[in-house]
Amino acid sequence: MIDAISFNDSTLRYLDQRYLPLREEYVSTRNYEEAIEAIKTLAVRGAPLIGVAAAYTIILGINSFQGTKEEFPSFFKSLVAEVEASRPTAVNLFFAAARLKKVYAENYETDTIEALFAKMNTAARKIHDDEIANCDAMSRHGVDQIKIDLAHILKTRKLNVLTHCNTGTLACCGTGSALGVIRLAWQEGLIERVITSESRPLLQGLRLTAWELEHDGIPFVSISDSSSAFLMQRGMIDFGIVGADRIAANGDTANKIGTCAHAISAYHHNLPFYIAAPVSTIDITIPDGTHIPIEERNADELRTIFGTQVASPTTPVLNYAFDVTPGKYLRGIITDKEAVVGNYITGLAALMEE
Ligand SMILES: CSC[C@@H](O)[C@@H](O)C(=O)COP(=O)(O)O
């Protein structure tokens, strides 16, 4: 399996996703500021992977600490704030930071600084291990749900599935969220072809999902983001499944810009459209999608295509990295605990209590 991120001997190693599929370049660092830059620039990306990277970045930061125990609280507070400021939308980043803050709060008074750091290290590694395990659980729940919802088609043929952005190993550490479901569905003989939309402007679908599918020998075709409604009209898509960066308590879901248009098209064509995401992506503290902070990225990402200027440098640009799909357009939210269909407010709240 692709090793998107690892942490050994106090060194963070990641595959720099900006250069894929043309170049497979691994970067190793012990410098937490470099790790923050990797998150900001999307060298590491995808909500669960951002969470794992954030946890290891905090570990790199505390490894660089050379002060006294009394000086540690203010150092730790500003380190975490710096990491939290790297990308605003993926709640997994804040989930990971909260886990490490909890370890700090529960152990600072009683532990030596060495013992405290060791516990934080263990907590970071557990976040990583959990995300790998989450993928397998999500995949199983997702495939079971698809078998129920699409049984009428599966009686006679395999399915064509639309996905957006990249939700595979590169984004999740394990087999993936939406792509994990697709991988398992393929292994179980349910999939004819995957349709991966390009995901402008940074092309995570065209570059990364295509790369992962090719690697696994799963049949796929790439389309421009604006093609999905037409393919649905022609009966070329049976269902859609994507990941999430943050899911509000009512099921409204932030994901890569372009997701909402795919979901509305699917709804219009009466095709099931699913979100697959670990429970760590649910933000139960916010009632609906209007509260999700949406990252706005540099205008030049749109005015240029991988360094080549394609628009006037003065063209005004809106470059939102994510959009919010209202829960009503979703057939279900597949999590590592279970697939939630129907009432998201009660279904998602119940997941948080388990
Ligand atoms: C399992 S990854 C889910 C989402 O994080 C993914 O669909 C996505 O939107 C990633 O955006 P990115 O900007 O590449 O980090």
Q: Does the CB atom of residue 321 touch ligand 1 within 6 A?
A: yes
Q: Does the CB atom of residue 171 touch ligand 1 within 6 A?
A: yes
* Residue 70: count of CB within 10 angstroms of its CB: 7
Q: What is the pLDDT of residue 2?
A: 83
The protein residue whose alpha carbon is closest to atom 11 in ligand 1 is 46
Comparing CA positions, the residue from 254, 243, 273 lying closest to residue 323 is 254
CATH topology for 135-353? Rossmann fold (3.40.50)
Q: In sequence order, what are the beta bridge partners of 197?
A: 164, 223
pLDDT digits (tens, 9 = 90+) for 185-203: 999 999 999 999 999 999 9
Task: Report how far apart, in Å, the C-alpha atoms of 254 and of each of 101, 189, 202, 242, 272 are.
Answer: 25, 30, 17, 11, 18
Domain chopping of the chain, boundaries: 5-131, 135-353
For residue 197, what are the contacts with CB-CB under 8 A and spacing of at least 6?
162, 163, 164, 205, 222, 223, 224, 225, 227, 228, 258, 262
- Indicate which residues carry an active-site annotation: 245
Q: In sequence order, what are the beta bridge partners of 309?
A: 304
Q: Does the CB atom of residue 231 touch ligand 1 within 6 A?
A: no
The protein residue whose alpha carbon is closest to atom 1 in ligand 1 is 167
pLDDT digits (tens, 9 = 90+) for 80-89: 999 999 999 9
pLDDT digits (tens, 9 = 90+) for 221-231: 999 999 999 99
CATH topology for 5-131? Four Helix Bundle (Hemerythrin (Met), subunit A) (1.20.120)
> Residue range 65-85: average pLDDT?
97
> Residue range 146-151: average pLDDT?
98
Confidence of residue 353 (pLDDT cuts 50, 70, 90): confident
Q: What ipTM does the predicted assembly reach? A: 0.98
Which sign, positive or negative, has the C-alpha torsion 340, 341, 342, 344? positive
Q: Ligand 1 atom closest to Cα of 277?
A: 1
Q: What is the pLDDT of residue 354?
A: 72
> Residue range 47-58: average pLDDT?
97
**255 annotated ligand binder:** yes
Residue 118 to residue 53: CA distance in whole angstroms: 18
> Residue range 270-282: average pLDDT?
97
Share of the chain above pLDDT 70, in %: 100
Task: Report how far apart, in Å, the C-alpha atoms of 232 and of each of 184, 237, 253, 264, 266 are.
Answer: 23, 5, 22, 11, 7
pTM more than 0.90 = yes
**99 annotated ligand binder:** no
Amino acid at 327: G
Tell me: pLDDT of 154 over 80.
yes
Q: Does the CB atom of residue 170 touch ligand 1 within 6 A?
A: no
Phi, psi (deg, nearest 5) at residue 216: -90, -5
Q: Ligand 1 atom closest to Cα of 255?
A: 9
pLDDT digits (tens, 9 = 90+) for 107-132: 999 999 999 999 999 999 999 999 99
Q: Kindly report the average pLDDT of the chain as a whole number.
A: 97
Comparing CA positions, the residue from 217, 169, 168, 221 lying closest to residue 193 is 221
